[in-house]
Copies of this chain bind each other. A is one copy, B any other.
Amino acid sequence: MMKVIILLLLFIFPYSIVRAEDGSKLWLRYVSVSKDVAHNRSISIHSKDPIILLAKQELVNFWGKQSIELAVDRKLTYLKDGFKITGNLNRIKVIAHEPVGLLYAAYHLLQLQATNQPVSNLNIEEIPSFDIRILNHWDNLDRTVERGYAGYSLWKWDELPGVISPRYEEYARANASIGINAVVINNVNASPQILSSQYVIKLKSLADIFRRYGIKVYLSVNFSSPKILGGTKDSDPLNPEVILWWKNKVKEIYQVIPDFGGFLVKANSEGQPGPQDYGRTHADGANMLADALKAYHGVIMWRAFVYNPSSEDRAKQAYQEFVPLDGAFRDNVIIQIKNGPIDFQPREPFNPLFGALQKSNEMVEFQITQEYLGFANHLAYLAPLFKETLDSDTYADGKGSTVAKLTDGTLRPARKTAIAAVANIGEDINWTGHHFGQANWFAFGRLAWNHELSSEQIAEEWISMTFSTDNKFIDPVKKMMMGSRETVVNYMMPLGLHHIFAFDHHYGPEPWGDQEGGRPDWMPWYYHHADTVGLGFDRTSNGSNAISQYRPPIQEVFGDIQLCPDQYLLWFHHVPWSYTMKSGRSMWDELCYKYDAGVQQVRAMQQVWDRLEGQVDQQRFVEVQSKLKIQSRDAVWWKDACLLYFQTFSKKPIPYDIERPVHELEDLKKIKLMIKHHN
């Protein structure tokens, strides 16, 4: 009778069979094992190491298959912080070189279980691609988050160290589950206050939690900290008083946090102070800090994101600034380089600095938070973007010199390799604002662990852990995710267009953007160069000659309008409106079709998602559905704004088989969004 009632209920409320979820569990929706199951299998290791105990506990709680034996073997240095898993139907053996390797192995096993992979015959060896897999939080001490779209900062500085939010540990666990082992806790536009003794104590409370998950804390530091905080005359890196202040500060930190990771520095960039304020070089500044950290095995990540409002192409400036300094940096300095030469656009060619520094450590900085990709409103799966950079062949050390191989130690052995990304995490219940934003956090972790994973595989892992293991759900969602970044490129800035966003906040289109007396290199016209002749930034030898920073044969390919891939065409060339593209269409027509394709593709995403109603809990279904509606409206906004604006130069009709604009250019120009630090 009870069965009949339940069946009846299922019939009446087909959608309620999937329980509501708020996304707070991320991809960690493990199911606790029953007592029976737990009784029939053992998780064995003898250790008092907190990380090992945690690894064991996770398996005790959630592993529902055969018995597992864990072991640390200090001889297996080649494993780094990776692991080996072998086993059959009855027993699994896990070996790691470090305790945290066992924790990673535990999460690996739980992932296999959660994604319904076979575990009866295992022979796995995993060694991470990069030593330091680090998230950069652009969180301010007032809990606003620069370029954050998931609510206020997780870090409740006012409450620390007294009150410990349970989310600190949840956050650490999520990171550990995908191999992230380092965190820069504060904004690169850093407040000196973070180095005050009061904040160091607060930081310790976070470090203590993170440590159990194998995560080290790092700080962004303000180069003027000695003067502002310590009262030194200046912050000149060659001033002994300044050197001493940093030395003492580092010592103070390490006394409290013995495994502190090091500093991230944005210096002489966008108004931040730096060594150039005193006539010193980036190397002078970085080395001074590196020396202070050296004894503690601390690391300096020194950002190459520098540009000045000069007549020189912004895209060239980081290269020009850093290449002359090659060889001058200490070995515990890593130059942290944004994936592209401008600033986290939906698409950029790889940054020519990769491989250009022969004798300096280099690392990639990605942006997970979608500053230039529709904030937390647009679904854009970024693994393909990350992979595009990592797999780019720079030819720096000959063919095959991909960005990944240049930075992971393969081609350029380094004391420590690293990869960074700017986090998209805030205190929203679902962490990232958009449920699919979680996938980008996940994807960065997975690629930092193994950059050879395919975007598809990572998507499949994430979907099946986050939503459903049913292929009828996984397949369409994976397809939707795989196309999503290209979709955003299409409706925002196809064919190599870049930086035509609304001023400052970067939400929505503003190709007409201009600010009286504003920096040219912050203005869209600086980047698109639309005129009656055509569109795009001439970076060939006839123009800014940015292509000279690339090596042959890349230089020849990018520099030749006939060879240059469509996706970078307007990045490197000022192309006539009537120029015949590879498709046979004129450039103007091609541009129109790209924008329109973007709109149609978002609508197709809506259809994919709506078809899945009932296959995912209703709360997350509706929340994603709602975001897709915004994205769909925004795509039309972008298309209309860009085509109607560029049409004032091209003077050509939008091809008539394309859906017509529904907005007036003049109306769109009036849109002024009041967006500050976060939404």
Tell me the residues in window 315-365 of chain A with beta carbons closer than 8 Å to chain B beta carbons.
none
B628, B662, B663: which contacts A660 (Cβ < 8 A)?
Answer: B628
- At the interface, yes or no: A659 with Cβ under 8 Å from chain B? yes
Q: Which 3 A-B pairs have the closest CB atoms?
A: A606-B660, A632-B662, A611-B656
Per-residue CB contact flags for chain A residues 631-671 toward chain B (1 = under 8 Å, else 0) read: 01100000000000000000001101101111110000000
**Inter-subunit contact B660/A607 (CB<8 Å):** yes
Tell me the complex Cα distance, A633–B659, Å: 12
Please, which residues of chain B bring their CB within 8 A of the CB of A632? Answer: 660, 662
Tell me the complex Cα distance, A550–B606, Å: 46
- At the interface, yes or no: A603 with Cβ under 8 Å from chain B? yes
CB-nearest residue of chain B relative to A605?
B660
- At the interface, yes or no: A626 with Cβ under 8 Å from chain B? yes
Per-residue CB contact flags for chain A residues 442-480 toward chain B (1 = under 8 Å, else 0) read: 000000000000000000000000000000000000000
- At the interface, yes or no: A629 with Cβ under 8 Å from chain B? yes
**Inter-subunit contact B603/A659 (CB<8 Å):** yes
23 A-B pairs with C-beta separation under 8 A: A603-B659, A603-B660, A606-B659, A606-B662, A607-B656, A607-B657, A607-B659, A607-B660, A610-B653, A610-B656, A610-B660, A611-B656, A613-B653, A626-B664, A628-B660, A629-B660, A629-B661, A629-B662, A629-B663, A629-B664, A632-B660, A632-B662, A633-B663
Tell me the complex Cα distance, A555–B653, Å: 53
Tell me the complex Cα distance, A613–B647, Å: 14
Tell me the complex Cα distance, A664–B622, Å: 10
CB-nearest residue of chain B relative to A629?
B662
Please, which residues of chain B bring their CB within 8 A of the CB of A657? Answer: 607
Tell me the complex Cα distance, A663–B661, Å: 18
Cβ distance A657 to chain B, nearest Cβ, rounded Å: 7
Tell me the complex Cα distance, A546–B78, Å: 88
Q: How large is the interface on A (under 10, 10 to 19, 20 to 34, 35 or more residues)?
A: 20 to 34
CB-nearest residue of chain B relative to A625?
B660
Task: Give 9 new A-B contacts, CB below 8 A, not counting A613-B653, A628-B660.
Answer: A603-B660, A606-B659, A606-B660, A607-B660, A610-B654, A611-B656, A629-B660, A632-B660, A633-B662
Please, which residues of chain B bring their CB within 8 A of the CB of A633? Answer: 662-663
Please, which residues of chain B bring their CB within 8 A of the CB of A663? Answer: 629, 633
CB-nearest residue of chain B relative to A603?
B659
CB-nearest residue of chain B relative to A608?
B656
Per-residue CB contact flags for chain A residues 202-225 toward chain B (1 = under 8 Å, else 0) read: 000000000000000000000000
CB-nearest residue of chain B relative to A636?
B662
Tell me the complex Cα distance, A656–B614, Å: 14
CB-nearest residue of chain B relative to A610?
B660
Tell me the complex Cα distance, A607–B659, Å: 7
CB-nearest residue of chain B relative to A15?
B651
Please, which residues of chain B bring their CB within 8 A of the CB of A603? Answer: 659-660
Cβ distance A656 to chain B, nearest Cβ, rounded Å: 5
CB-nearest residue of chain B relative to A622?
B664
Please, which residues of chain B bring their CB within 8 A of the CB of A660? Answer: 603, 606-607, 610, 628-629, 632
Cβ distance A524 to chain B, nearest Cβ, rounded Å: 24
Per-residue CB contact flags for chain A residues 477-490 toward chain B (1 = under 8 Å, else 0) read: 00000000000000
Please, which residues of chain B bring their CB within 8 A of the CB of A613? Answer: 653
Please, which residues of chain B bring their CB within 8 A of the CB of A610? Answer: 653-654, 656, 660
CB-nearest residue of chain B relative to A660?
B606
Please, which residues of chain B bring their CB within 8 A of the CB of A656? Answer: 607, 610-611
Cβ distance A598 to chain B, nearest Cβ, rounded Å: 14
Tell me the complex Cα distance, A606–B661, Å: 9
CB-nearest residue of chain B relative to A606?
B660
Please, which residues of chain B bring their CB within 8 A of the CB of A626? Answer: 664
Please, which residues of chain B bring their CB within 8 A of the CB of A606? Answer: 659-660, 662
Please, which residues of chain B bring their CB within 8 A of the CB of A664? Answer: 626, 629
Cβ distance A279 to chain B, nearest Cβ, rounded Å: 56
Tell me the complex Cα distance, A609–B430, Å: 46
Tell me the complex Cα distance, A632–B656, Å: 16
Tell me the complex Cα distance, A130–B613, Å: 58
CB-nearest residue of chain B relative to A634?
B662
Tell me the complex Cα distance, A544–B657, Å: 48
Per-residue CB contact flags for chain A residues 51-81 toward chain B (1 = under 8 Å, else 0) read: 0000000000000000000000000000000
Please, which residues of chain B bring their CB within 8 A of the CB of A662? Answer: 606, 629, 632-633
**Highest count of chain B CB atoms <10 Å: which of A657, A659, A660, A661:** A660
Tell me the residues in window 139-178 of chain A with beta carbons closer than 8 Å to chain B beta carbons.
none
Please, which residues of chain B bring their CB within 8 A of the CB of A659? Answer: 603, 606-607
Tell me the complex Cα distance, A607–B607, Å: 24
Tell me the complex Cα distance, A409–B671, Å: 59
Tell me the complex Cα distance, A629–B659, Å: 11
Cβ distance A169 to chain B, nearest Cβ, rounded Å: 35
Cβ distance A12 to chain B, nearest Cβ, rounded Å: 11
Please, which residues of chain B bring their CB within 8 A of the CB of A653? Answer: 610, 613
